[in-house]
Amino acid sequence: MKKELQFLLTTVLLTVTLAMTGCAQKAKTPTPTTPAATTTAAPKAVALTISAAASLTEAMGEIKTLYKTEKPNVTINYNFAASGVLQKQIEQGADADLFFSAGKKQMDALKAAGLLIDTTNVNLVGNSVVLVTKSDSTLAISNFKDLATDKVKKIALGEPKTVPVGQYSEEILTTLGILDKVKTKVVYAKDVKEVLTWVETGNVDAGIVYATDAKTSQKVKVVSIAGKELYKTPVVYPAAVIKASKNVEDAKEFLTFLSSDKAKEVFVKYGFDFLLK
């Protein structure tokens, strides 16, 4: 009887010990945890305002599409006008992140006023100046000097104070010694696109535009290309980031893209000379 009682006590003690050991092991076993979900913040949406010369309209439109594929978070808004008009707007505090001018004169004015981030100022593309008539015109003219003859009654030029192509036009006509002879025939346009439209519609007999603008239209034909010796100011398009921009780094990135091989292909396609090597 005594042995049976000892055996029973031993069995109970062993059972309790094993149970306690199992509980201890369960207590030491860490509870599986669900790893925290990792999220990557989407790029901040940015809207850039680009003040660009009217003659850049087609090329910059295509570049905008290309840039969207690389920077989908960036919206490009263009303000196209004569470079002199854009210069004045920026001087008066208009919203602009980057200025892309058709002439150095306007860019230099903003630089002198301390409105640019000077280290970003770069000459991107060049252009040529051409004399155009309507594609079906029967005027017997073949060069700029013919503008001084009785064959031509009305000529469209860009306003030289605000439109770089107008400045180049007057330089050409001055070099040829015919500016005074043609001034009575001249009507001045607010930008180069308006000059082109007046020629296309036949409102004028001839006009002076950039080679790139003539290339975009099937309604005009190039009569003559001005030799570089006829105008003292090279046709250079500089670009720079505006100091007052609220998106300086994004504007710099867009300017870098304008200097890239992808942008070069577009500029060359539209007839511009790409100046960066």
Q: In 3D, which of 156, 187, 164, 159 has the Cα closest to residue 83?
A: 164
Give CA–CA dist 241/268, Å, rounded: 23
116 DSSP assignment: B
77: which 2 tokens? 């808004």
| Percent of the chain's residues with pLDDT above 90 | 82
Q: DSSP states of 44-106 as a string?
A: PPEEEEEEEEGGGHHHHHHHHHHHHHH-TTEEEEEEEE-HHHHHHHHHTT---SEEE-S-HHH
Residue 42 has a pLDDT of 76
Q: How many helices (H) and strands (E) does the chain have?
A: 10, 11
Looking at residue 1, its pLDDT comes to 45
Give pLDDT, residue 39. 58
> pLDDT by residue (tens digit) across 125-134?
999 999 999 9
Instruction: Give the single-character DSSP code of 211.
Output: H
Residues of the chain scoring pLDDT < 50: 1-29
Q: Note the pLDDT of residue 29.
A: 47
Q: What is the pLDDT of residues 134-174, one digit of tens each?
A: 999 999 999 999 999 999 999 999 999 999 999 999 999 99
Taken in order of first residue, the domains within the chain and their CATH numbers are 46-126+235-274 (3.40.190.10), 129-230 (3.40.190.10)
In whole angstroms, what is the distance from residue 94 CA to residue 86 CA?
9
Cα–Cα nearest to 108, from 125, 121, 93: 121
62-92 confidence digits (pLDDT tens):
999 999 999 999 999 999 999 999 999 999 9
For 173-208, give the DSSP string.
Answer: HHHTT-HHHHGGGEEEESSHHHHHHHHHTTSSSEEE
